[in-house]
């Protein structure tokens, strides 16, 4: 059975999407409960540290989604499987949303700590660049042609954009920035207290499941839309 066949994907989407969404909401609510009622306030930042539980999981997911886009782009360039291109098309707006959340929450989190709304910090600048990379990818998919050349252009563009992902991740290690070094994903293990770590993990998992739901609904729309276009062109000719 071809896992990437439209009929197989459409069938699985109808079966599991609502279940995934429900689990995502439950896990997200558990994460936010721990974040706001169990995790302590910071002795310097006070309650403003709670923004971390939105900011950090969104940052993780924005990078994870772009990494998935890169894998699907490579798959498309090798196999020319249209479903891989449609997955890239569906993931781009989701990644764009979470990158926007990272930037907006970071601005409100940084203002009381740094005294300014924005600085051209290495981490901030590279995340802003990721925002525009996502935006460019979505714009490419707005330009459609009968031969699907925009699929190839988008895939190559996505591969070039991946250069920015390690820059986002390691910018705090490579340059002097206002951001603190990684305290969760480290070779020697997390340095953050478990009362703050668990909410981050729960919120991240909840966001992941909700993103899968959004991906499934977008793919469902794309499959139905392509099927409609195919029937229309067949009748026209």
Tens digit of each residue's pLDDT (9 = 90 or more) over 190-208 = 666 777 888 999 999 999 9
- 139-177 pLDDT, tens per residue? 998 886 656 688 899 999 999 999 999 999 887 777 666
pTM of structure? 0.84
Q: Show the beta-strand stretches assigned E in 69-173.
A: none
Contacts of 136 (CB under 8 A, 6+ apart): 157, 161
Q: Tell me, rounded to whole angstroms, the distance of Cα 14 from its chain centroid.
A: 23
Give me 65's structure tokens: 């989604």
Query: Once rounded to an integer, what is the mean pLDDT over residues 122-142?
Result: 93
Contacts of 86 (CB under 8 A, 6+ apart): 219, 222, 223, 226
Q: Structural domain boundaries of the chain? A: 16-36+50-226
Residues in the chain: 237
Residue 95 contacts residue 65 (beta carbons within 8 Å): yes
- 91-102 pLDDT, tens per residue? 999 999 999 999
Residue 180: pLDDT band (50, 70, 90) is low
Residue 171 contacts residue 126 (beta carbons within 8 Å): yes
- 40-74 pLDDT, tens per residue? 877 677 777 888 899 999 999 999 999 999 999 99
Give me 211's structure tokens: 């993103």
Q: Tell me, rounded to whole angstroms, the distance of Cα 124 from its chain centroid.
A: 17
Query: Could you tell me if residue 118 is left (phi over 0), alpha (psi between -120 and 50 degrees) or otherwise beta?
Result: beta
DSSP 40: P
């Amino acid at each position: 059975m071809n896992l990437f066949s439209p009929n197989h994907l459409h069938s699985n989407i109808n079966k599991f999407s609502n279940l995934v969404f429900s689990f995502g909401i439950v896990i997200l609510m558990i994460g936010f409960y721990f974040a706001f009622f169990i995790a302590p306030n910071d002795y310097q930042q006070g309650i403003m540290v709670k923004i971390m539980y939105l900011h950090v999981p969104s940052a993780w997911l924005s990078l994870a989604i772009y990494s998935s886009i890169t894998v699907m782009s490579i798959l498309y360039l090798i196999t020319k499987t249209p479903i891989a291109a449609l997955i890239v098309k569906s993931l781009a707006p989701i990644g764009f949303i979470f990158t926007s959340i990272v930037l907006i929450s970071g601005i409100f989190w940084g203002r009381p700590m740094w005294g300014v709304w924005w600085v051209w910090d290495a981490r901030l600048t590279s995340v802003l660049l990721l925002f525009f990379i996502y935006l460019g990818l979505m714009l490419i998919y707005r330009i459609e042609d009968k031969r699907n050349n925009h699929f190839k252009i988008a895939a190559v563009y996505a591969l070039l954009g991946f250069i920015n992902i390690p820059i986002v991740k390691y910018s705090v290690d490579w340059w002097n920035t206002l951001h603190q070094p990684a305290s969760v994903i480290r070779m020697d293990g997390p340095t953050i207290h478990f009362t703050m770590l668990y909410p981050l993990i729960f919120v991240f998992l909840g966001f992941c499941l909700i993103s899968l739901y959004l991906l499934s609904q977008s793919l469902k729309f794309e499959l139905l839309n392509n099927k409609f276009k195919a029937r229309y062109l067949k009748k026209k000719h």
